[in-house]
Amino acid sequence: MSRASSIVQTVRDAYDGIEGFLPLHAPVFEGNESAYVQATIESTFVSSVGAYVDQFEAMLRDITGAKHVIATTNGTTALHMALLLAGVNRDDLVITQSLSFVATANSIAHAGALPAFVDIDADSFGLSPTALQAFLEGECDMTSNGCVHRASGRRVAACVPMHSFGLPARIEEIVGVCDKHGIPVIEDAAEALGSRVGSRHCGTFGQLGTLSFNGNKVVTTGGGGAIMTNDPEIAKRAKHLTTTAKVPHRWRFEHDAIGFNFRLPNLNAALGCAQLERLDDFLAYKRALAERYNDAFTKAGIPFVTERPGTTSNYWLCAILLNDRTERDECLEVTNEAGVMTRPVWEPLHTLPMFSSAPRDTLVETLQVAGRLINIPSGVVRRPVK
């Protein structure tokens, strides 16, 4: 049996021999989703004002430990707003990783800034604190205007590490490096709901953190995101700006800043509340699946990506590493042809035309991982998908 065929069989065995098409990560609606959405429709409060928005934010505070949570329309708007709240201005530089979904860099561009790509750690796929320190010390200077990138003259206004596939990055070390250079950290925890470093939830280490609730995430609101922070003033500003900067009044429409229509609708929040009620069950299922994968792929001699010691991954998307790009592409072809949905990692952001001129380091680990990794079915599947 070829390695590609072995992957197909291993995935199906992990799902108890399930037949038919196996998606990468489809949502599961087996709780109160229909009831809560119907209740929202009957209330007529389907837009950004409603009880479910408040409840959704409260549930996320309880789950993550963040003191303040502001729900937004999607993860991209959450990250865009977080950058503005952290003080990122037009023509600033924001350090992030090239191995990420395009929304990370898009959000930086939406804020008028330019990304600078720094390499990842091979065991977490998250921003490397060692590479970050080398970039800051070798490519930047501390000035009266803060940390400035020497070649471009741009101020380094923020750092955005990502917890890729729900695998926690070395976030404590990243924050430590950034603190020494006066750089705020905004965690892109879009994929990391339920992931922790020690007992602390990802997205709560930096000045701000963001979540995503897209249809393919552990928990979905259809589309949705959230900003997390422990700073009450930042939280107040976040809610104000995401609600079109409207000054509270019973009937007047007064606005005191250029605001954004970024608040999550109540209809979506209703779906999210029902999903969050099932979060522990989802996480337990996904952990058991990851353990089965790890055992089986280890026996087959195929590296399965696991959480680092001292961290807890939500295993949003499980991943394996193949020998090289040629084998990767062969396995993608065979698995998808067999009805087992697999995907390569995103194209590294520095290779995309709109970000090809952005500052970067050598990105050695980024390129190695990009050529070898594939994601395999990782969702909660109770029954065959027709």
In the chain, DSSP finds a helix count (H) and a strand count (E) of: 12, 15
Based on the domain organization, do 169 and 55 belong to the same domain?
A: yes
Do 63 and 78 fall within a single domain? yes
Pair 83, 175 in one domain: yes
Q: Does residue 382 belong to any structural domain of this protein?
A: no
Whole-prediction pTM value?
0.96
Give the domain range for residue 324: 3-30+279-376
Is 301 exposed, middle or buried, given 0-12, 13-18 or 19+ CB atoms closer than 10 A? exposed
- Predicted local distance difference test score (pLDDT) of residue 385: 36
- Alpha-carbon Rg for the chain in angstroms: 21
Same domain for 21 and 83, yes or no, is: no
Angle between the N-to-C axes of helices 171-180 and 129-139, in degrees from 0 to 180, rounded to the nearest 10: 20
CATH number at residue 43: 3.40.640.10
CA distances from 11 to 19, 230, 332, 334 (A): 11, 41, 13, 13
Q: What is the DSSP string of 97-112?
A: ESSS-HHHHHHHHHTT
How far apart are the two ends of the chain, measured CA to CA in Å? 27
Q: Tokens 């590490």 sit at which residue?
A: 161
Question: Tens digit of pLDDT per residue, the chain (386 long)?
Answer: 688 999 999 999 999 989 899 999 999 999 999 999 999 999 999 998 899 999 999 999 999 999 999 999 999 999 999 999 999 999 999 999 999 999 999 999 999 999 999 999 999 999 999 999 999 999 999 999 999 999 999 999 999 999 999 999 999 999 999 999 999 999 999 999 999 999 999 999 999 999 999 999 999 999 999 999 999 999 999 999 999 999 999 999 999 999 999 999 999 999 999 999 999 999 999 999 999 999 999 999 999 999 999 999 999 999 999 999 999 999 999 999 999 999 999 999 999 999 999 999 999 999 999 999 999 999 998 754 33
Residue 386 belongs to a domain: no
Residue 384 counted as domain residue: no
- For residue 22, tell me if it sits in a domain: yes
How many C-beta atoms surround the C-beta of residue 309 within 10 A? 6
Residue finishing a domain among 254, 277, 300: 277
Q: Does 73 lie in the same domain as 197?
A: yes
Question: Is 60 in the same domain as 193?
Answer: yes
Q: Is residue 383 part of a domain?
A: no
Q: In what side-by-side order are the strands of the sheet with 225-229?
A: 68-72, 225-229, 208-212, 186-188
Residues in the chain: 386
Are 332 and 342 contacting, i.e. CB atoms less than 8 angstroms apart?
yes
Q: What pLDDT sits at residue 48?
A: 87
C-alpha distances in angstroms, 102 versus 40, 108, 154, 209, 273?
33, 10, 22, 17, 27
Q: How many domains does the chain have?
A: 2
Confidence (pLDDT) at 384: 41
pLDDT value of position 1? 61
Report residue 264 as tokens.
């999550």
- Locate all alpha helices (DSSP H) within the chain, ordered by sequence: 3-14, 33-43, 51-64, 75-85, 102-110, 129-139, 171-180, 232-242, 266-277, 279-300, 325-337, 364-370
Q: What is the pLDDT of residue 49?
A: 86
Helix (H) or strand (E) holding 228: strand 225-229
**CATH code for the domain in which residue 24 is found:** 3.90.1150.10
- Identify the three-state secondary structure at position 154: coil
Q: Exposure string (b/e) for 85-111, b if CB count within 10 Å is 16 or more?
A: bbebeeebbbbbbbbbbebbbbbbbbb
User: At which of 277, 295, 314 does a domain end?
Assistant: 277
Residue 172 and residue 153 share a domain: yes
**Can you give the pLDDT at residue 260?**
97
Tell me how far apart the alpha carbons of residues 250 and 188 are, in angstroms, rounded to a whole number. Answer: 36
Let me know: does 331 contact 7? Beta carbons within 8 Å. yes
Domain limit, last residue, from 277, 311, 345: 277
